[in-house]
């Protein structure tokens, strides 16, 4: 009953309450994002949704236009404090999680929930084992178990396992715990960057090249 009906009702109410907050942030941040490199304000990323369906996830763009895709050795997206692909405003948004606020739109559409497993890249579907596929039985969330308790401090496979555990044990009480723990984690800026793994040799060379370009510009 909670997962099928009540959770969705709570999501809609919170998204509607939060929408004026999103509008205010948009009016302030959108011009800064655009004039940084004359690029789009939003980054619309294709992601895995409930039952493995693809959807477009809204985020404020935090990287430079046409930034290369750089991965860690475990296949997760590289996220480092000195990432040369990230703009100055993008670095601030990531630390404060403001880049995720546009996902209120995804909640209203029905693609996402406030609390749930973070949506993965489409190709990650082929990395799941049978247990980890259970994470696809629920709507992905703006925040979830991993973001509240670990953020970017653990490897991808452990995140998949935690997401499957959440899907198996979903409840109002667990969602409340995740919600308040997320607030604590964001305010304390814990584990903003991924220390669990590092890029392979090829991607490391690409990062070094981008850093050198930034220094020259």
Range of the domain at 70: 2-216
Domain count, the chain: 1
pLDDT of residue 117: 96
Read off the pLDDT of residues 12-33 as tens digits, 9 standing for 90 and up: 999 999 999 999 999 999 999 9
pLDDT at 206: 63
| Residue found by looking up tokens 């991808």 in the block | 156
pLDDT in the model for residue 69: 79
Contacts of 155 (CB under 8 A, 6+ apart): 74, 76, 196, 197
Query: Which residues of the chain register pLDDT less than 50?
Result: 195-196
Contact 75, 203 (CB under 8 A): no
The predicted structure's pLDDT at residue 132: 96
Helical spans, DSSP H, in 38-155: 88-96, 103-109, 145-149
Sign (positive/negative) of CA torsion 157, 122, 145, 194? positive
Give the model's pLDDT for residue 178. Answer: 96
């Amino acid at each position: 009953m909670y997962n099928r009906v009540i959770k969705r009702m709570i999501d809609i109410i919170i998204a509607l309450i939060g929408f004026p907050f999103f509008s205010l942030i948009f009016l302030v941040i959108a011009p800064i994002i655009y004039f940084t490199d004359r690029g789009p304000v939003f980054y619309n990323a294709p992601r895995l949704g409930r039952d493995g369906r693809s959807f477009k996830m809204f985020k404020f763009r935090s990287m430079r236009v046409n930034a290369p895709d750089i991965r860690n050795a475990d296949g997760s997206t590289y996220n480092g404090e000195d990432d040369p692909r990230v703009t100055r405003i993008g670095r601030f948004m990531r630390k404060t999680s403001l880049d995720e606020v546009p996902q209120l739109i995804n909640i209203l559409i029905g693609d996402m929930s406030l609390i749930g497993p973070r949506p993965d890249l489409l190709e990650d579907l082929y990395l799941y084992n049978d247990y980890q596929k259970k994470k696809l039985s629920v709507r992905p969330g703006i925040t979830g178990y991993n973001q509240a308790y670990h953020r970017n401090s653990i490897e991808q496979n452990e995140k998949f396992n935690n997401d499957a555990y959440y899907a198996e044990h979903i409840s109002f009480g667990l969602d409340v715990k995740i919600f308040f723990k997320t607030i604590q984690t964001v305010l304390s800026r814990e584990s903003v960057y991924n220390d669990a793994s590092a890029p392979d040799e090829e991607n490391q060379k690409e990062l070094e090249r981008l850093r050198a370009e930034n220094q020259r510009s």
